[in-house]
Structure formats: C-alpha cells, structure tokens
DNA sequence: AAGCACACCTGCTAGC
DNA sequence: TGCTAGCAGGTGTGCT
C-alpha cells in the first residue's frame, strides 16, 4: 500500500532522526525481513557501527546511505521497501513497547530506535553498494525514472506507451517504465487526466500524455502534503505513527458505487491484472 | 519478448 | 455467534 507519496513522507520523517547518527546495534527478529541477505547476521554486521550520511528515495524504495566501510562514504547503502504493510517507526527509547510484527530494530547512538514493523511481511531491507555515492544503487537499476523527481515531459510517457497493448493503468504501475505509482495513485491520476484505465497504452494520444504528466505533477505533491493515504485495511502510518489524510481527497479510488465528484455518474470498478481499478465511465474515455 | 499468472503473507470483512 | 472463504496489496519469477 505505501506508494511514492507514503515512502517520501516516511523518508522526510526519518531523515532528521537518522542523519549523522551511528547505529550502535541492530536486531533481526524475523529472517524474512532481510531475505536478500546471505544471513541475518551479515546484515547486522554490516550495519553495526555505521553512521547514516543521507537518505534518498527511488520510486517506492528508501535508500539509507552509510559512511565508512571499504567502499567509502555514501557507497554502502541499506535499501528498504515497505511492501504492502511495512512501517518504519521511531521509538524514543528501548523502553517503549514494541508493536506486534516488529521484525528489525536499529538502535541509534542517541538511544532512539528505528523499528521496521510489517504484518504482511512483503517488505524487506538489505545492504547494497552504489558505484556512485549520489546515484542509484545497483539493485534499483531496473527501475524507470522516478515519478516525482525525474518525470520529464510527455514525450517520455509517449515513448513508454508506444506500441504496447497492455492497459495504460498497468503500464503506469510497471516500475520499470515509471517508478513510484501503485494502485491508488494510478486511479487518481487517470481520473484527473480523463483516461480510462483499460485503454491500451499504445492508444493513449500525445495530448493525453500531456494530461497524464500534469496529473502526476498535481497528485503526487498533493498526496505528500496530505502526508499520504491511509485506508481501512493496509494501515499506513508515517514515522511518528500518524495516518495520512489524502484519502479524503480521493475522486475514484475505493469509491466504486458512489457518485463521481465531477459528473455524478456512478464510479465503476474493473478487475485488471489481478487488481481492481476504479474509474468514472463518464469522465474517463 | 511482451504480457500474463502466480507465489509470497497476514488481517480484515463479507457471507454463511 | 462462530466459522470460513475471499480479498487486498507490490514485487519477482517463471511460463507462454
């Protein structure tokens, strides 16, 4: 459930907590949370004693850059993906009660803890190396341009849609085409752009790509400003445990059967690629 | 080679 | 009331 806006809100919350702090201890309570590591002990060993120099984000992945080590400042990173239900929570001290499903804990040199909580266990974190301290770590090389920081103009979208039969909503969710969008925000972006989710990508016109780019540029910052979206089942909360409020601004997502806020027609729901799309048959063509 | 199905996992909800 | 079945979500793999 966390998509780009939620990950960015968490990053902005975590950055001042982590930056300049040294990880004095790390603990893995559930091996699956570090399943890309050779062993949980390897992850703990890599992290312990390291200082965080910066945080960044690529799509839905959070990147925590570490100082020191053989590779030099900023080259060793920890990549975090929240999956569907992952949360990074800051505890003021070790005395604070741990939530159920707390799988990884980092203890900082100021006594605070950063805790990775993830009921559905789709999230994970692992150590990687970035050849360029400012660039992307190697495991994230397959991702397309970041939908917030590197969106470019409509030409970029047009070229990624060209000749493809796959539904435009699924193409927008393809992280190798564009990184950061998921089921929630593609629903809202397609609504704003007036494009039906099941349209073949290749049928989307240049003008519609212009509208899609404008919609992405409007929706993502607004969602970040609202501190993300929190829905009933996948309880997204920020680094301080508070839900977001962007769901109050949803036009179509999770609103199937209710009236479209623009034209009043009933919002429809469509099964697509094992997911569900919500859209307005009146406003989206 | 694009596009699809499926596995992964848990908690909530709808339906009986 | 208590149970079960179904669903929800993002990513990665593997098949067609």
Per-residue pLDDT of A87-109, as tens digits, reads 999 999 999 999 999 999 999 99
User: Is A59's CB less than 7 Å from nucleic acid strand C?
Assistant: yes
CA of A85 to C1' of B16 (A): 29
| Crossing angle of the two packed helices A206-225 and A183-193, in degrees rounded to 10 | 130
- Compute, in degrees rounded to 10, the torsion defined by CA atoms A197, A4, A142, A128: -160
Q: Of A60, A65, A112, A255, which one is the catalytic site residue?
A: A60
CA separation (Å) from A88 to A85, A215, A236? Answer: 10, 29, 10
CA dist., res. A26 & res. A106, Å (int): 5
What's the pLDDT score for residue A282? Answer: 95
What's the pLDDT score for residue A202? Answer: 95
What's the pLDDT score for residue A6? Answer: 94
The low-confidence residues of chain A, meaning pLDDT below 70, are: 1, 69-72, 232-235
pTM score: 0.95
Residue nearest to nucleotide B8 (CA to C1'): A122
Residue nearest to nucleotide B6 (CA to C1'): A274
CA A37 remoteness from chain centre: 21
Residues lining strand B, beta carbon within 7 angstroms = A 32, 100-101, 119-122, 164-167, 170, 201, 232-233, 273-274
What's the pLDDT score for residue A71? Answer: 59
CA of A88 to C1' of B15 (A): 35
A196, A279 Cβ separation under 8 angstroms:
yes
What's the pLDDT score for residue A69? Answer: 66
CA dist., res. A217 & res. A156, Å (int): 14
Assign A207 to helix, strand or coil: helix
């Amino acid at each position: 459930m966390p998509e780009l806006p939620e990950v960015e809100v968490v990053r902005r919350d975590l950055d001042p907590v982590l930056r300049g702090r040294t990880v004095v201890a790390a603990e893995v309570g559930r091996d699956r949370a570090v399943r890309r590591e050779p062993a949980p002990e390897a992850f703990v060993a890599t992290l312990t004693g390291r200082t965080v120099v910066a945080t960044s984000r690529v799509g839905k992945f959070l990147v925590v850059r570490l100082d020191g080590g053989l590779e030099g400042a900023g080259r060793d990173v920890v990549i975090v993906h929240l999956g569907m239900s992952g949360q990074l929570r800051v505890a003021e001290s070790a005395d604070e009660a741990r939530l159920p499903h707390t799988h990884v804990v980092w203890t900082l040199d100021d006594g605070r803890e950063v805790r990775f909580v993830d009921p559905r266990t789709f999230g994970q974190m692992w150590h990687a190396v970035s050849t360029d301290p400012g660039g992307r770590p190697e495991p994230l090389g397959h991702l397309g341009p970041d939908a917030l920081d590197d969106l470019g103009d409509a030409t970029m979208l047009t070229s990624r849609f060209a000749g493809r039969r796959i539904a435009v909503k699924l193409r927008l969710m393809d992280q190798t085409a564009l990184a950061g969008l998921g089921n929630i925000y593609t629903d809202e972006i397609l609504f704003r752009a007036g494009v039906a989710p099941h349209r073949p990508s290749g049928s989307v016109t240049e003008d519609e790509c212009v509208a899609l780019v404008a919609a992405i540029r409007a929706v993502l910052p607004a969602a970040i400003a609202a501190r993300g979206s929190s829905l009933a089942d996948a309880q997204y909360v920020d680094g301080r445990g508070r839900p977001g409020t962007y769901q109050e601004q949803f036009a179509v997502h999770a609103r199937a059967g209710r009236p479209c806020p623009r034209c009043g027609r009933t919002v429809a729901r469509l099964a697509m690629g094992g997911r569900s799309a919500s859209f307005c048959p009146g406003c989206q063509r």
